Chain A
Amino acid sequence: MKIGLEIHVQLPTRSKMFCSCPAVGAAGPNEHICPGCMGMPGTKPSLNKEAVVIGIKIARLLNCSVPDTMWFNRKIYFYPDLCRHYQITQYETPIAQKGVYYLGKKPIRITEAHLEEDPGTVTRSGDGSLTDYNRSGMPLIEIVTEPDLSTPAEAREFLTALLRDIRHVIDLPDDGERTIRADCNISMAGSERCEVKNVNGLKNVERALTYEAVRQTKILKAGGKIARETRHYDAERMVTTSARKKEYAGDYAYVCDPVFGKVDVKSIMDGIEHKESPKNMVARLVSEYSIDVRIAEQIVNTSVGLAELFEHLAKNVVADMALKWVTGPISSSWKALEKDVVARTADITDIVIRQRDGEINDVECAMLLKALITGKDVDAVRKGGADLDALIRKAIEENPSVADDHKKNDKAMNRIIGIVMRESGGAYSSSDVVDAAKRILDGL
């Protein structure tokens, strides 16, 4: 089985790709439109440079080469959701060319990634269709992989890793404003491929591919042939349906867009600062600080900011000690710290250094960190800790069997945790309650 993906990522620019309409945040349908993106006769597109900058960052992430100059192409597009009925895209000079992205040790070859504009949206309504052009002209990058993925699960794993990296390097928030869609190409050995268009979401990519794999295998087993075609995925019914016979690249008339001419990518590239991708960061943490790969993954998955705090602490104390505090109290209160971690890094470092120098013990260090992160004073934290202990002991007294069960079964303490969480009305984080309950039960 061979699977290749075409991944469409809407880019986080403020305005659209070829006009100055805002890219997101419209109050209603057809609010963010202008003569340009409505294809009014005589208007000319102008290029949003920020889209090129983001394209270059993605090219770098995919280990692709970037051409010194590139141009755009116009491609016939006879659908009502793009007003000009041609799409401005890239054909000969995609911004990212021939790269590779490693899924663990397995190389997934990247054919190319090109910039283009998104069409609007069409909604079927009664006996007609409604078009909304707010999205029309949104900048998009389409990443095309070689058919190097071998199972639907692997495709999902690849997409998960890739999207985490992309979100980080281009600062793409996961707030639902911008979507990521994939066209999934799948073929069985020696047979034609089918393309499932416009699949939304990781889960659906895996489901659509699995459905296709089963469908195609059945046809082949019964002695049938797979026709090359485009299919749709119905997320409700979890099936794919035939849409149309697949066009070949030669069926589209591509003409070079004469309005921007050649874009000097080289000069744009020089001014760009590239962020390290989360995947590369994991690899680097493992080799630089000799920490376990799963722990490195866990830290980076929580947040790249947390990983950066770890690195800062590791440089000021030692890696082991930094790891202990980062995976312990800091990570358990990460949500509270995330927004202003940079401003508080110096204070956190001070506390950890005092612990290293023996000025304070582990318990005090944990308490000071908690106080700093949650913004409560130390006494309140200490008292809170004492109150928590009291609550837990009370719960154990009222449920005496738990103490015995706990020796046999880790899950037994969940009852205590549940009671305490409920009674404290969420005053303590679940990880604090778990830690304290475990400590007290272990000590009985």
Chain B
Amino acid sequence: MRHISLNERYHMFSEAASSYEDKKLTFSLSDDIVATGFTASAGSRILEGHRPVYDSTVSARMRAAGGSLIGKTNMDEFGIGMFSVTGTDIPKNPFDLARSCGGPCGGAACAASLLDGHVALATSAGGGISVPASFCGVLGLTPTHGRISRHGLIDSVSSMGPIGIMATNADLLRRYLKVISSGDPNDPVSAAQPDLVLGKSKLKAVAVPNGITDLVSTGVREAFDRSVGTLRDMSVDVEYVDIPELDYSMSAHYILATAETALNLATYCGMRVGQQSGDMSLPFDDYFTSFRTKYFGTGVKKRIVAGTYMTLGDNRNELYMRSLGIRRLVMSRYEEILSEYDAILTPSTPITAPTFDEVSGIRYTDEYLTGRFAVPPVFCGLPCLSVPCGYPDGVPAGLQFTAARWNEDVLTDAAAAWEKAFDIKAPEASL
């Protein structure tokens, strides 16, 4: 089948269904969303071979709506990374095989880009929707935190990062957002949401943070500036505002994300799930340690060490607790702006997809800054949308709209309006 031959070339799936019914909607899940009948390793060797005993809520809802799950998509190990190169396999960019799909959920964006009418669900933690959607030239919708049940999402970061949707058109986003939304008793966070209302809002006014294009590559800047023009042609009011608070997001996000990761990943130690091939005669402290040393990747270990540091002793107040306060501060600034504008407009990423050569030479902090626009909305639990907005050097650049809490409506409207005004290109996929 086509998805299998494409996978041989692009490596988007960690596991692909051998067949599926024609005419059915096909969907995929990033490898950290569990589904019965498929393995779920969250891109980590420590969970290799893990077969979940239950279906995630999003999987169950997509299947109930007639969807056919055709594969689990490759991602960075436990959602930690910006280029999808730390997982069990590396997906290749549909526009250029030598380039990264972006991360953490690169395989999902790759699948959405290459397969007709496909819906790719993936986690948005660490910018996991906007970054790969931008690099692979598809639409990516990150809903409000709490809109989609995370039951069945193997999360390393638990206070942020809802499950989002990637697809090639606005209609798919809208239809399947409806399918997977609404409260779920298995995830208390999702139980408190207001009803999802679509079709009522119109995108009329957006705010652009001052100085935002100083932080991006030339290609991205040019695409962004042209997009501002396009929006104005669509009679959207574009104004420039100061949002200095956004600058704090990245450090505070890093602290919270690493702290939560260090804690949540304590679950994985070679007992009960995934890899269990360790030496059982060791005392359990030694068993846990040897196992985690062997099967966690470098990026994950860095986060565990950093995250442990963030919460130990006095650091807990100085770093972790203070970051929670910063999150509230940034949130309230967002709320202020979004009470006056329908959305905040930024590029989705400061660069277009780098080549794998460039990725291997990139510094840890620079890699992290690839998410400087994609991470802040996720950090604050706000919904955002990435759409393709240009093709500098033949690879896609992305435009990101961030809306107020629960206002996915304005984003699906923006997606529909944008795809009329801008000519979204499909990659020339070759088998």
B187 to A259, Cβ gap below 8 A? yes
A42 to B159, Cβ gap below 8 A? no
Q: Which of B153, B185, B259, B262 is the one whose CB lies under 8 Å from A46? A: B185
Interface positions, chain B 266-296, Cβ under 8 Å from A, are 266-269, 271-273, 280, 284-285, 288
A259 to B56, Cβ gap below 8 A? no
Given known pairs A79-B284, A259-B189, A260-B188, the reply for A39 and B267 (CB within 8 Å) is: yes
B54 to A84, Cβ gap below 8 A? no
B159 to A84, Cβ gap below 8 A? no
Residues of A within 8 A of B32 (CB): 42
Is A162 an interface residue, CB under 8 A from the partner?
A: no
Residues of A within 8 A of B288 (CB): 78
In the complex, the chain B residue whose C-beta lies closest to that of A122 is B284
B40 to A35, Cβ gap below 8 A? no
In the complex, the chain A residue whose C-beta lies closest to that of B34 is A42
Is B312 an interface residue, CB under 8 A from the partner?
A: yes
Q: How far is the CA of A79 from the CA of B267 in the complex (A)?
A: 10
In the complex, the chain A residue whose C-beta lies closest to that of B273 is A41
Q: Which of A47, A78, A80, A258 is the one whose CB lies under 8 Å from B266? A: A78
Q: How far is the CA of A251 from the CA of B313 in the complex (A)?
A: 7
Is B3 an interface residue, CB under 8 A from the partner?
A: no
Q: Which of B262, B272, B280, B316 is the one whose CB lies under 8 Å from A39? A: B272
Is A255 an interface residue, CB under 8 A from the partner?
A: yes
Main secondary structure of the interface of B (DSSP, over half): loop
A44 to B260, Cβ gap below 8 A? no
Residues of B within 8 A of A83 (CB): 267, 272
Produce 1/0 per residue, A293-330, CB < 8 A to B: 00000000000000000000000000000000000000
B267 to A86, Cβ gap below 8 A? yes
B291 shortest CB reach to chain A, Å = 12
Produce 1/0 per residue, A70-98, CB < 8 A to B: 00001011111001111000000000000
Given known pairs A44-B150, A258-B158, the reply for A38 and B187 (CB within 8 Å) is: no
Residues of B within 8 A of A43 (CB): 54, 151-152, 186
Residues of B within 8 A of A78 (CB): 266, 269, 284-285, 288
Is A213 an interface residue, CB under 8 A from the partner?
A: no
Is A380 an interface residue, CB under 8 A from the partner?
A: no
The size class of the interface chain A forms with chain B is 20 to 34
A340 shortest CB reach to chain B, Å = 39
Given known pairs A40-B273, A250-B312, the reply for A35 and B54 (CB within 8 Å) is: yes
Q: How far is the CA of A39 from the CA of B155 in the complex (A)?
A: 12
Interface positions, chain A 367-383, Cβ under 8 Å from B, are none
Q: How far is the CA of A43 from the CA of B316 in the complex (A)?
A: 26
Q: Which of B42, B150, B263, B273 is the one whose CB lies under 8 Å from A253? A: B263
Interface positions, chain B 295-313, Cβ under 8 Å from A, are 307-308, 311-313
B34 to A44, Cβ gap below 8 A? no
Tally of A-B Cβ pairs under 8 angstroms: 108
Interface pick from B45-53, B398-406, B414-422: B45-53
Is B254 an interface residue, CB under 8 A from the partner?
A: no
Produce 1/0 per residue, A42-82, CB < 8 A to B: 11111100000000000000000000000000101111100
Residues of B within 8 A of A259 (CB): 158, 187-189
Is A107 an interface residue, CB under 8 A from the partner?
A: no
Is A384 an interface residue, CB under 8 A from the partner?
A: no
A432 shortest CB reach to chain B, Å = 57
Given known pairs A41-B34, A77-B266, A86-B264, the reply for A46 and B52 (CB within 8 Å) is: no
Is A233 an interface residue, CB under 8 A from the partner?
A: no
Is A239 an interface residue, CB under 8 A from the partner?
A: no
A44 to B40, Cβ gap below 8 A? no
Residues of B within 8 A of A85 (CB): 266-267, 269
Q: How far is the CA of A256 from the CA of B317 in the complex (A)?
A: 12
Residues of B within 8 A of A257 (CB): 158
B320 to A255, Cβ gap below 8 A? yes
Binding site for B on A (CB under 8 A): 35, 38-47, 74, 76-80, 83-86, 128, 250-251, 253-261
10 A-B pairs within 8 Å (CB atoms) are namely: A41-B267, A41-B268, A42-B151, A42-B154, A79-B284, A250-B312, A250-B316, A255-B260, A256-B324, A259-B188
Task: Give 17 A-B pairs besides A42-B32, A44-B151 with Cβ atoms closer than 8 angstroms.
Answer: A35-B53, A39-B267, A40-B52, A40-B53, A42-B34, A43-B151, A45-B188, A84-B267, A86-B267, A253-B263, A253-B307, A254-B311, A255-B260, A255-B311, A256-B324, A258-B160, A260-B188
Binding site for A on B (CB under 8 A): 32-34, 40, 42, 47, 50, 52-54, 56, 150-155, 158-160, 185-189, 259-260, 262-264, 266-269, 271-273, 280, 284-285, 288, 307-308, 311-314, 316, 320, 324
